[in-house]
């Protein structure tokens, strides 16, 4: 029995790989491009110093270094060849499926026979592997962060479950397993993605529901260790989010929704995820959900009230019936607990399917287990048949969706069709059309979204870019965009295109409507927008673009002034070096040396300071400039 069950799981892994194979040739999309851009800086370099510089590109701390390090060996394929990146993601996904089966097997043995436990775990893992919603995680290359964090958490859960259930093993072995899970696996998950912080909460949910009886029989030393390493951190995580609410509200200045609106909307979002899991179909899965309607009140839209009541009822029932219905409690708390960081108060975007990657295990396992626990044989066979039909629907949907993921133009068209109100989906389709030489089609595509969002600065900026290429740009559009830039809400898409517009202005592609002065007027308007004051990194980026414009113009003083402002707002170790390079190129050697000497390395991000000695790099640059100065004197 065990042999056949393991063969079944191996077959599920091979099937998943076969289903995913067409998608492995698809493009880099969405967050892949900005988050992996650092790979371009080190395409053929080796050694610790190059790796340290690459890892230190992250501005935050700890910066997800393990996940970012996993991309480094594949850097030679960036950005032309996505295949090795996506293949690695897929293999890691399969490894997670095997780890999931191993963990669920241990969990199931606490409540059922060994053969049935292995079968239940393998079926759950197989369904998890082949579900079409997983494509959004696996095929978005940068979400290797989520996959790796899940892998380390599953390793930790295997060890933790062993510590809770292995009554026949010594206390020392069980304690070692618990300590390894919490003090090694959980931190490793955290170094891949912040969701690794959920490990204590997952552990608490597990041993308070499915493993409740095993946990109650723990020896006293293990109970004490569990309380210190699991219970306290889990409740700190839950309570900390509430305690930090006043501080968390500051991030909403950069969003077009408030904290209350986000909390209301997320009640519908988590229901939407469940619906996509329950009803596998072709088309609705993807990355561009920026058109998801925001809940402005319990009745706007009316579904908000229903979702809120459903959420409260599910939590209340799971809590009150956690002893009688442990499987139901596990499903509810696991799914919702897995959403605690990304779908509650933190000012993240509203909707991403990769947030269900590990949380969906709860409902899947509960359904599979419940089917095997049905005592009536006829009803049990009917339930299992229904599950088989559902699995076939998953296979069909995943296979069709994977084929779309592998074809850039088709992918863009499908997403635009399913999300006609999505600015990002529309811009993605327009960019693909433009890359294929269809400028007229790209303009028509952007026109469709502009009719729905007439006051949207990001849409108008992209239209201006296309109109400039087509030679149809009018100065009135520039004035309109300048007004929106000065007073409109924060929009990431508005800033991303500033560099492209600068290049068009510098190339004199549309001189009558957008010359360099017009472009500087747009950037000045952005910098005058009061909403930008809370985002120094974007301000720094705009000043960096102004420095590039000054270089294009040959204005050294202006270029240096803009670089200094960039350094003030968003310190980057290359800024002083660039400043020194410009000054040295102009023969201003003392000023170049002074620029490097006065650079304060303590202002650099913490991760950079820990990994790279920029002071030593700057000192080496100073010596090079001194040699240049000496050589110039002897000419």
What's the pLDDT tens digit per position in 186-206?
Answer: 999 999 999 999 999 999 999
Same structural domain, 10 and 84: yes
Task: Mark which of 551, 570, 589 sits at the end of a domain.
Answer: 570
Taking the C-alpha atoms of residue 198 and residue 332, their distance in angstroms, rounded to an integer, is 15
Same structural domain, 385 and 325: yes
Same structural domain, 554 and 504: yes
282-325 pLDDT per residue, tens = 877 889 998 999 999 999 999 999 999 999 999 999 999 999 99
Categorize the per-residue pLDDT at 44 as very low, low, confident or very high, splitting at 50, 70 and 90. low
Assess whether pLDDT exceeds 80 at residue 523: yes
What value does the mean pLDDT take over residues 53-73?
86
174-184 pLDDT per residue, tens = 999 999 999 99
Which is more confidently placed, 492 or 373? Answer: 373
Contact 334, 103 (CB under 8 A): no
Q: Is residue 432 part of a domain?
A: no
Taking the C-alpha atoms of residue 447 and residue 461, their distance in angstroms, rounded to an integer, is 12
Q: Is residue 553 part of a domain?
A: yes
Q: What is the pTM of this model?
A: 0.93
Contact 428, 412 (CB under 8 A): yes
Assess whether pLDDT exceeds 70 at residue 1: no
pLDDT value of position 45: 61
Number of other residues whose CB lies within 10 A of the CB of residue 458: 22
Same structural domain, 621 and 525: no
- Identify which of 104-118, 324-338, 443-457 has the greatest average pLDDT: 324-338
Task: Mark which of 570, 599, 623 sits at the end of a domain.
Answer: 570
Q: Is residue 435 part of a domain?
A: no
pLDDT value of position 222: 94
Write out the residue range of the structural domain in which residue 11 sits.
Answer: 2-36+79-405
601-631 pLDDT per residue, tens = 999 988 889 989 999 999 999 999 999 988 8
Q: Is residue 427 part of a domain?
A: no
Same structural domain, 485 and 346: no
Q: Is residue 532 part of a domain?
A: yes
What value does the mean pLDDT take over residues 155-159?
98
| DSSP letters spanning 68-112 | HHHHGGGGGGTTT--HHHHHHHHHHHHHHHHHHHHHHHHHHHTTS
Same structural domain, 487 and 596: no
Same structural domain, 141 and 282: yes
What value does the mean pLDDT take over residues 253-271?
92
Taking the C-alpha atoms of residue 35 and residue 85, their distance in angstroms, rounded to an integer, is 14
Same structural domain, 332 and 221: yes
Report the range of poorest mean pLDDT among 281-285, 347-351, 524-528, 605-609: 281-285
Same structural domain, 324 and 370: yes
pLDDT value of position 43: 63
Residue whose entry in the numeric block shows the structure tokens 């610790």 = 48
Q: Is residue 436 part of a domain?
A: no
Q: Is residue 60 part of a domain?
A: no
Residue 606's Cα: distance from chain center in Å?
A: 22
Same structural domain, 371 and 513: no
Q: Is residue 343 part of a domain?
A: yes
Locate 110 and state its tokens. Answer: 């606490």
Same structural domain, 252 and 367: yes
Query: In a 3-state reduction of DSSP, which class is residue 585?
Result: helix
Same structural domain, 290 and 223: yes
Number of domains into which the chain is organized = 3
Task: Mark which of 570, 587, 607 sits at the end of a domain.
Answer: 570
């Amino acid at each position: 029995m065990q042999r056949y069950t393991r063969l079944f799981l191996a077959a599920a892994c091979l099937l998943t790989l076969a289903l995913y194979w067409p998608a492995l040739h698809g493009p880099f999309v969405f967050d892949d491009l900005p988050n992996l851009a650092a790979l371009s800086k080190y395409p053929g370099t080796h050694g610790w110093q190059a790796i340290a510089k690459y890892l230190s590109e992250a501005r935050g701390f700890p910066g997800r270094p393990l996940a970012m390090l996993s991309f480094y060996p594949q850097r030679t394929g960036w950005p032309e060849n996505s295949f090795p990146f996506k293949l690695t993601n897929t293999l890691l996904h399969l490894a997670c499926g095997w780890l999931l089966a191993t963990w669920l097997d241990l969990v199931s043995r606490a409540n059922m026979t060994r053969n049935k436990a292995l079968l239940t775990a393998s079926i759950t893992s197989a369904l998890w592997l082949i579900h079409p919603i997983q494509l959004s995680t696996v095929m978005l290359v940068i979400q290797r962060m989520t996959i790796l964090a899940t892998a380390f958490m599953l390793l930790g859960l295997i060890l933790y479950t062993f510590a809770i259930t292995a009554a026949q093993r010594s206390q020392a072995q069980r304690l070692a397993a618990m300590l390894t899970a919490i003090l090694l696996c959980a931190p490793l998950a955290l170094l891949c993605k912040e969701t690794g912080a959920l490990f204590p909460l997952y552990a608490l949910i597990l041993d308070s529901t499915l493993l409740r009886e095993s946990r109650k029989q723990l020896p006293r030393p293990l109970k004490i260790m569990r309380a210190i390493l699991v219970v306290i951190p889990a409740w700190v995580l839950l309570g900390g989010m509430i305690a930090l609410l006043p501080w968390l509200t500051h991030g909403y200045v950069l969003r077009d929704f408030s904290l209350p609106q986000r909390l209301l909307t997320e009640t519908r979002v988590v229901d939407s995820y469940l619906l996509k899991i329950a009803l596998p179909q072709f088309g609705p899965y993807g990355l561009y959900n920026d058109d998801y309607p925001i809940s402005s009140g319990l009745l706007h839209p009316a579904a908000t009230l229903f979702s809120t009541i459903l959420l409260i009822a599910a939590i209340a029932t799971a809590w009150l019936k956690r002893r009688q219905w442990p499987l139901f409690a596990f499903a509810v708390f696991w799914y919702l607990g897995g959403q605690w960081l990304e779908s509650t108060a933190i000012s993240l975007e509203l909707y991403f399917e990769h947030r269900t990657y590990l949380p969906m295990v709860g409902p899947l396992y509960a359904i599979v287990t419940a089917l095997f626990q049905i005592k009536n044989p006829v009803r049990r066979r009917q339930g299992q048949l229904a599950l088989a039909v559902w699995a076939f629907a998953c296979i069909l949907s995943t296979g069709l969706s994977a084929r779309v993921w592998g074809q850039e133009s088709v992918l863009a068209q499908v997403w635009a069709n399913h999300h006609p109100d999505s600015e990002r989906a529309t811009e993605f389709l327009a960019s693909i059309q433009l890359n294929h030489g269809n400028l007229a089609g790209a303009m028509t595509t952007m026109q469709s979204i502009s009719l729905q969002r007439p006051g949207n600065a990001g849409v108008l900026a992209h239209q201006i870019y296309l109109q400039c290429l087509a030679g149809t740009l009018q100065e009135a559009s520039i004035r309109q965009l300048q007004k929106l830039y000065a007073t409109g809400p924060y929009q990431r898409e508005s800033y991303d295109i500033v560099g492209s517009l600068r290049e068009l202005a510098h190339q004199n592609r549309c001189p009558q409507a957008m010359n360099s002065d017009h472009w500087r007027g747009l950037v000045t308007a952005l910098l005058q927008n009061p909403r930008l004051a809370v985002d120094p990194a974007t301000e720094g980026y705009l000043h960096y673009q102004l420095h590039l414009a000054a270089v294009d113009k040959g204005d050294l003083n202006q270029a240096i002034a803009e670089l200094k402002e960039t350094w003030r707002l968003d310190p980057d170790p290359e800024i002083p070096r660039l400043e020194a390079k410009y000054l040295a190129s102009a023969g201003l050697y003392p000023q170049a040396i002074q620029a490097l000497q006065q650079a304060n390395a303590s202002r650099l991000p913490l991760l950079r300071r820990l990994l790279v000695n920029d002071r030593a790099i700057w000192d080496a640059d100073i010596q090079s400039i001194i040699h240049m100065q000496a050589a110039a004197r002897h000419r």
